[in-house]
Structures are given as C-alpha cells and as structure tokens.
Structure 1
Amino acid sequence: MDPNSKLSEEKVFKDPVHRYVHVRDKIIWDLIGTAEFQRLRRIRQLGTTYLTFHGAEHSRFNHSLGVYEIIRRIIDDVFHDREHWNNDERLLCLCAALLHDLGHGPFSHSFEKVFHLDHEDFTQAIITGPTEVNAVLRRIGDDFPKKVAEVIAKTYENKLVVSLISSQIDADRMDYLQRDAYYTGVSYGHFDMERILRVMRPQEDQVVIKQSGMHAVEDYIMSRYQMYWQVYFHPVTRSAEVILTKILHRAKQLHQGHYSFKHQPAHFYSLFEDELVLQDYLRLDESVILYYFQVWQDEEDPILSDLCGRFLNRRLFQYIEFNPNSQMKMWMELNHLFKKAGIDPDYYLVVDSSSDLPYDFYRPGEEEERLPIHLLMPNGDIRELSRESEIVEAISGKKRTDHKLYFPQDLIDRLSSKRKVKEQIIQLLSSGKN
C-alpha cells in the first residue's frame, strides 16, 4: 500500500471539542473501521465517573479520535516544512495517536488494578498480534506495526515522535482535559490549546514551546491540576471504584473456591485463572461487565449480590478523611468491630489513596522519568519551564496524596440487634471526621 494513499473524498467526524475531526489518509479510515478500534466505543473514557458527573458517558473512541486530530493539526499545520521535522514520520505519528488507548479494558484503571494488567501491554499486543489493526498497519510495511508499538511504548528511536504522544505536554493530555471538562460540565479543564499549538516547535528530540507562549502552558498545567482533584479523584467516583474492584475480587475469590454460580462467569475464566489471552481480553467491554453485575444481584452469595446491587443502583459507600500515619489504630479497631457486627471488613471497610504530581523537572535515573517542558527563548537558548515560571516552580516535584476510608453507612444503621457494637463503630467514625 502506498503510504500516501488518500481517500477520494475527505471524511469528517463532528466533535464537540475540536468541531471536526478530519480524515484524508486511507490507512486512518481503515483503522477506525477495525473491530479492535470500534470496541473502544464500549469503553468509557472516565470509568465510574458517570456516577458522579452524569454527563461523563463519553468513550475511549471519541478521545482517540481527538488525540489523532490534535496530532494531525500539529504535523500538517505547525511542523510542516520546519527544521528537525521529517515528514516521513507523519503517518507513524497519526497511527500511534489514533491507537494509543487501544488496549484499555472495561472501567480501565480499576479493572487493571484487580487483575494486575497494563493496558499499554495490551495496546502493543493488539498492534503486533493477529488482529484487524495489525493487518491494516502491515499494508504500509511488515515492520510498521512494530514501529507504532514502539512509539506507544516510548522506545522508538525518534524521541520527538514519542514526545508528541507521551510527555508532560502531549496531544493525549490536551484532548482528555478539554473533553473530560466538556462532558462533566466543569470549567477546570479549559485552556488555550490554539495558542499552545501555535507556539510548539520541533527540536531534535522533543517538542519545545516558544517563550512567548509560557502563560498558556501555565494555564494548561493548572487546568490539569484542578481536573485531577476536582474530577478524576472525586471521592464519590472513588467510592464507586472501590465497590467495582470489590465485586471483581469477590467473584474471583468465589470462582477459586469452587462456588457454584447461578450465572457462570464464562467471560472471566481466563482472567480468574491468570491465563488471559488476547482474544479473551478483546471480548471484554463494559456492556459485558455490567451484564454480569446485573445477573449477579441474584447470586446466593450475599456479598457479591449486595455489592452488585450497590454499584448498579448507586448505593455507594460513605467516606471520611483518613491519615494512615496517625489513624491505623482506629482502622484496626473498626476492623475488629465490623467482624463482631457480621460485616466483612475485607469488602466493606476500605482505605483508598490517590496521588498526583502535576509537573516535574528532569530527575535522571528515577522511576518514571518525566521529561520536562522546555521553552525556546528569543535568543535560541532552551530553558526548563519551572526556571522561568514562578507558578510552575511553586508546584514542581510536589506530589499530593489523599486518603479516604470507605464504609457502608446503611449496614451500620441497620445494626439494631448489636446496639453496643453499632455505637462503638459510629463513635470511631465520628472521631475520624473531626
């Protein structure tokens, strides 16, 4: 296949964030039509956030189109004919942008935590394995799928290409911040993307920002900070995630204990037995998971039945602030009291922690090295962002962590036959709120 093969007529997708997503390259159009890419319509972008912000029903499909569109604009409108940019890398960038989230599972990060999976591993497996996506990519060349996978794995030799897809100011973040803000109805995620795109410049191994665009980048970083704490780490969303993960843990435990399900979890067998293969993984999406949660409400196991009903009908856990350094004794006492009350603390007394590092400068050799954002000064010098911006300097390298203790208030309220235990639990939880 000719890498430059075009459609006879440009295709466009209407998009609420970018107005239009433009497709002229035949390979991009063919990739969108594959079964593996269409599956992303059935994976929500924000997992359980729709239980907090009712508009957050958007999918990994429309986010992926958005990332592709940003990369297309950077390459075709900003980088075209500029020094350090090789247009031979154009199609590779577009494909990597479109496919970067291909391996996400249902409810994404919660699902990964339970089964110790990594969506990036599955993304690379889909791209390089026996799939429709791989067959389309191989039309460009036998080694093209491998190159796309390397960009997503951040191991591709051209670091400039990698930085467009994955860095502290990349197309992925620029799309999801705006898209998630739009669908959740909040104002935090808005920033001047048009300005940032105009001041992006290709360098030998990464994208840099003209110094005149520094304030737009400051706004972008603060938008990201606000979105994480106001939306992504919202305590109600985390309550739903806690219940979701406990349902999956319980189902796995029951399967391993040879429990006889009324509705056999056939789609989960290879997951529960740690023998997951790619084709089984691709059959999993959120409609499948929600089907099992629906029928598991009728299971005889009271914990599985209760947790599924809670998730589907939004009867979520309550929470209090929790400090693991000073309140572990309280947690241990609550653990003991829950057992006395007949409430299993493994499923109904859960500490959840969230942390974020909004911006970091370069720390060579450290785990998860973050390449910093660099400014291109008027005299041609390159300066790291936090050395020029007081706002960014103030938050650089500062990791914020939040802990919550989740519990079912309704089960505690119903402990009428164990009044003393109930009073002790309420007293301990009340002390934690103060």
Structure 2
Amino acid sequence: MKRPDGQLQEEKVFKDPVHRYIHVRDELIWELVGTREFQRLRRIRQLGTTYLTFHGAEHTRFNHSLGVYEIMRRMVENLEKKGEWDKDERLVCLAAALLHDVGHGPFSHSFEKVFHMDHEEWTRRIILGDTEINSVLSRMGADFPMRVADVIAKTYDNKLIVSLISSQIDADRMDYLLRDAFYTGVSYGNFDMERILRVMRPSEDQAVFKQSGMHAVEDYIMSRYQMYWQVYFHPVSRSAEVILTKILHRAKHLLANGYEFKLNPRHFHTMFRGETTLEDYIRLDESVISYYFQEWEDEEDVILRDLCQRFMRRHLFQYVECDPSEQMLIWPELQDLFKKIGVDPHYYLVVDSSSDLPYDFYRPGEKDERVPIHLLMPNGSLRELSRESDVVEAISGKKRTDHKLYYPEDLLLDQSEFAEEKQRILALLKKEEE
C-alpha cells in the first residue's frame, strides 16, 4: 500500500563502500532504480578501459549514479534545514542526480567518438522517450520528465539546481573523485566532502561556500587535478582506448565494404549507418561488446583479429611522448615506413592527446565558459575562489595538454625483413620521445 506523501513504508538502504549507506525514502527513486534502463548501468563500467591499468576499477555507472543521488540527497537535506529551499524542486533534483548518466554507452567516451554520439543527448532521449524511466517520471506530472531532462541539459530555469549537479564543484564530480580513487586504490582523489557540504550555502544562481571552508575546496580542486593526470589520462588506459576505437573503426569499415563476418555484428548495423534507435541503444552494453570482441579474435580479417586479440589479452601498444610541431615533420615518413613493412598506419600509428583545465574563472563569450566557484565572505559578499586562494590561483585558467604516439612495438621487433626500415622507424620514434 502506497503512502499519500510519496514516501516508502520503510526506508531502503544500499550498502556503499564510499558513502557507507545510500538512503532511499521516496517511491519515485526506488522505482527509477528498478527500471530496465537504470539497471543497464550495472553493465557499463564507470572508467571504461581503466580496469586494464588499475585492476580494481571494475565499478559501474550504476554505483556512481547511486552515489551522486546520495550526495544530492544530503545537499538538499542540508539546504532544507537552512530554510532556503523550494521543496517542490526536491524530487527534480534527486531524479536528475540519479539519472544524469543513464545515457552512457559501453566504454563511454571511446564509444561516443566512434559513433559521434553524445551521452547527455541519449540521457534526454531515455528520459523523454518510450521507456520505463519515462513512465515512472510521468506519474509525477506530465511536465516532470521534461523538468528532469532540462536539469541535465543545463537549461532548467533554476540555475541553483543545475549547479548542484553540473558545475566546477557538484555532486557528480564529488562522487566520481572519491569513488574512482577508492576503486583504483590511489589516494589522490580523497578530500573532505563532509566539510564541503557543511559550508555550502545557496545563492540565486549557484551554490557558494563559506570562506571558512576554503581549504576543503582547495583540497577538492587539487584532488581533481591529480586524478586526471594520475588516473584518467594514464597512458596505458589510453593505449587500450586507442585499440578499442580502432576495432570499432575496422568493423565499421568492413561492414560498409561487404565483408562477411563469421559472427554478424547485428547490434552495430544501425549505429554504423547513423540510424540508431532508442531500443538499439538501450540493448547495447559492455557485455555485448566484449562478446563480439572475443568472437572477432577468430575472424579472417587480419587487422580486426589482431586488434581484438590485443584488447582481450591486454597486449597493448607502446607509446612515446609526442611533440605536435615535430610530429608534422616526421609523420609522412613514419606512415610510409609502416606501409613498407606491411603495417597499416591508420590502425597501428596513432597520436592521442589529452587535456584538462582543473579550474577556471569566468571568461565571457568563450566556448565552454565556466561559472567560477564563489566564497561567501564574513561580510556577506561573494568573492571568486582564485582571488582568495594562492593554491587555486596558481592553476587557474592553465590548460595542460599531453600528446602521445602509440604503436605496436612487437610488430616492429618481430620483423625479420625490412631491417633498414625498422631501424629508421625506431630512430624516428626515439627522436619523438626526446
């Protein structure tokens, strides 16, 4: 029997290694967790190919989404206690936090690059389409699914709510830093979330933080900086991503040119043609991708077979540091040399670049402009974080970029012929690294 206030008869609790407990008191949230589309997130890893570098990184988007919900629940509870919160927005916030990643595909960002997809757009389609999630949300009112979708799209009228789930310090980032640090076994991502939540205060357009809690916010910013360069942009994980991407490109090429697969990649047909339906998308997860990769280890096509064997057996590409200006000078020669020894440079010679901007202040008119973090001063005024913090000021607006050239060292070392070409390739790679 349902309660008229929309609360469960008895609170449901998830045991969680990061937050200890995740509390669910609302029927809406409990029903959303049980939907087909949300349960699919159990089969999509949070960190893509990072498990091939950090063996503990097997956690999923399901884990993370529950964690973001729990942080948002605590944020909303704290704001309600302070009496500065519209209670009609509570369930919008909680639902948006829970569902913010429901549109992620398998291996997330690598998958998006190949198929030119945007997980946020697919999240909106799942929320607004003919899905179990939409059916559950619609019980709260005809406009409720659109309200949730607008929060995720950052177009919702109440900018404070948007900032709680998408800003330079939000529930999403706080959970993934703590969770990813826990599962990868590193200490970089740890920060005092309890302190940050205690000093958070609502303002008209965003959450702000009491000046007395500045050091906890500094710690958060630096934790994020370290996690990106020590974990998220780890060169071995990027090597696996390069191979994953090239497998999908090769399969797409073969299918377009009439190649007869031993196992017909029917799950990919509409994606390769750019005609993916909502049902096609929901049916695809990492277990499906892994099944195809395992089967393709026995394909007739040499490139597809080799790439799949590399990915499934973790025989990854080697890498060297890459200077883009130098690369332009040696790139044509490297490609020609690879072709001469019978190695296709399109699949086996890849430059991968990663960049991050750990914190930025407001730059009007710039692409992807960021709303800065503001401190609430004792006199009631607001002051941008980097103007108070020497630590944050030192990294503000400074975009760091890293370039690496990936190649199959084993194919070069195994060559019994083309000794001269092989030596020239190795010399050019060494020059790149220097």
Displacement of 1:232? 0.1
Displacement of 1:84? 3.9
Percent of aligned pairs sharing the same letter: 72
Match of 1:152 in 2: 152
Q: Distance in 1 between matches of 2:138 and 2:4?
A: 11
Q: Which amino acid aligns with 2:128?
A: T
CA RMSD of the aligned region, Å? 1.0
Q: 2:194 aligned with 1:194, yes or no?
A: yes
Show CA shifts across 1:19-47 (max 9, x none): 00000100000000000000000000000
SS in 2 for 1:326: helix
For the 8 Å contact 1:65–1:98, the answer to whether it is kept is: yes
Match of 2:372 in 1: 372
**1:238-249 matches, cutoff 5 A:** 238-249=238-249
**1:245-394 matches, cutoff 5 A:** 245-394=245-394
SS in 2 for 1:327: helix
Show CA shifts across 1:282-328 (max 9, x none): 01000000000000111110000000000000000000000111232
**1:114-193 matches, cutoff 5 A:** 114-193=114-193
Match of 2:59 in 1: 58
Displacement of 1:60? 0.1
Q: 2:6 aligned with 1:9, yes or no?
A: no
Q: Distance in 1 between matches of 2:257 and 2:4?
A: 53
| Gapped regions of structure 1 (runs ≥ 5) | none
SS in 1 for 2:326: coil
Q: Distance in 1 between matches of 2:222 and 2:316?
A: 30
Q: Which amino acid aligns with 2:113?
A: K
Match of 1:19 in 2: 20
165 and 94 in structure 1: CA distance in 2 versus 1, 3 angstrom threshold = same
Q: 2:385 aligned with 1:408, yes or no?
A: no
Show CA shifts across 1:136-160 (max 9, x none): 0000001000000000000000000
Displacement of 1:65? 0.2
Q: Which amino acid aligns with 1:187?
A: S
Q: 2:199 aligned with 1:232, yes or no?
A: no
Match of 2:73 in 1: 72
Show CA shifts across 1:310-349 (max 9, x none): 0000000000000111232222211110000100000000
For the 8 Å contact 2:326–2:432, the answer to whether it is kept is: no
335 and 3 in structure 1: CA distance in 2 versus 1, 3 angstrom threshold = farther
2 and 335 in structure 1: CA distance in 2 versus 1, 3 angstrom threshold = farther
Displacement of 1:421? 1.1
| Gapped regions of structure 2 (runs ≥ 5) | none
Q: Distance in 1 between matches of 2:199 and 2:424?
A: 60
Q: Which amino acid aligns with 2:43?
A: R
Q: 2:9 aligned with 1:31, yes or no?
A: no
TM-score normalised by length of structure 1: 0.98
SS in 1 for 2:21: strand
TM-score normalised by length of structure 2: 0.98
37 and 3 in structure 1: CA distance in 2 versus 1, 3 angstrom threshold = farther
Displacement of 1:366? 1.5
Q: Distance in 2 between matches of 1:375 and 1:49?
A: 35
Aligned length: 433
